[in-house]
Amino acid sequence: MSSAPPPIDVRAWLDERPFSLFQWRVLLLCFCIVAVDGFDTACVGFIAPLLMRDWHIGPNVLGMLFGAGLGGLMVGALLLGPVADRIGRKKTLIATVAFFGLASLATAHSPSVAILIALRFATGLGLGAAMPNAIALTSEYCPERRRAFLTTVMFCGFTMGSGLGGVVAAELIPDYGWRGVFLFGGIAPLALAAALAVWLPESVRYLVVKGADASKIAALLHRIAPLRADVDTRFTLHETRTVGSPVKQLFEPAFRTGTLLLWCVFFMSLLIVYLMTNWLPTLVHASGLSLAAASRIGVFYQVGGTLGALVLGRLMDRFSATGVLGLSYAFGAVFLALTGCVPGDLLAVTVAGVGFCISGSQIGANAFAARYYPTANRVTGLSWALGVGRLGSVCGALVGGALLAAHIRFPVLFLIVAVPAGIAAAAIYLCGVQARRRAALPALAASAGIDTA
What is the model's pLDDT at position 231?
62
Residues 139 and 317 sit within 8 Å (Cβ to Cβ) = no
- CA torsion 379→382→384→389, rounded to 10°? -150
Residue 232 makes CB contacts below 8 A (sequence gap 6+) with 4, 5
- CA torsion 156→157→163→169, rounded to 10°? -170
Residues 321 and 153 sit within 8 Å (Cβ to Cβ) = no
SS3 label, residue 6: coil
| Per-residue pLDDT band at 200 (split at 50, 70, 90) | very high
DSSP lists the bridge partners of residue 9 as 236
Q: What is the CA radius of gyration of the chain?
A: 22
Between CA 246 and CA 222, with CA 15 as vertex, the angle to 5 degrees is 90
Q: What is the average pLDDT across 161-166?
A: 77
For the stretch 75-94, pLDDT in tens is 888 888 778 888 888 999 99
Distance CA 221, CA 141 (A): 10
DSSP lists the bridge partners of residue 8 as 235
Q: What is the DSSP string of 87-116?
A: H-HHHHHHHHHHHHHHHHHHHTT--SHHHH
- Domains of the chain and any CATH numbers: 8-448 (1.20.1250.20)
pLDDT over 70 at 252, yes or no:
yes
Q: What is the average pLDDT across 65-84?
A: 80
What is the model's pLDDT at position 433?
81
Of 93, 131, 160, nearest to 360 (Cα)? 160
pLDDT over 50 at 444, yes or no:
no
For the stretch 345-363, pLDDT in tens is 678 788 889 999 998 999 8
What is the model's pLDDT at position 69?
78
Distance CA 397, CA 67 (A): 6
Distance CA 260, CA 381 (A): 11
Name the residue with higher pLDDT: 174 or 304: 304
What is the model's pLDDT at position 240?
55
pTM for the predicted model, two decimal places: 0.78
Of 72, 78, 81, 136, nearest to 100 (Cα)? 72
What is the model's pLDDT at position 309?
87
Average pLDDT over the chain, rounded to an integer: 81
What is the model's pLDDT at position 439?
57
Q: What is the average pLDDT across 236-256?
A: 71
Q: List the helix and strand counts (H, then E) for the chain.
A: 18, 2
What is the model's pLDDT at position 228?
75
| Per-residue pLDDT band at 442 (split at 50, 70, 90) | very low
Residues 78 and 383 sit within 8 Å (Cβ to Cβ) = yes
SS3 label, residue 50: helix
The angle that helices 89-107 and 21-54 make with each other, rounded to 10 degrees, is 20
Burial of 411 per CB tally in 10 Å (0-12, 13-18, 19+) = middle
Sign, Cα dihedral of 163, 186, 130, 139:
negative
Q: What is the average pLDDT across 426-450?
A: 64
Picking from 173-187, 233-247, 415-429, which range would have the lowest pLDDT averaged per residue?
233-247
For the stretch 357-408, pLDDT in tens is 998 999 889 888 887 877 777 888 888 888 888 788 777 767 766 776 777 7
Q: What is the average pLDDT across 215-224?
A: 87
Residues 9 and 134 sit within 8 Å (Cβ to Cβ) = no
Within a 13 Å sphere around the CA of 219, how many CA atoms are in the beta-carbon half?
Answer: 8
Residues 72 and 120 sit within 8 Å (Cβ to Cβ) = yes
Picking from 32-36, 45-49, 113-117, 440-444, which range would have the lowest pLDDT averaged per residue?
440-444
Q: What is the average pLDDT across 176-189?
A: 87
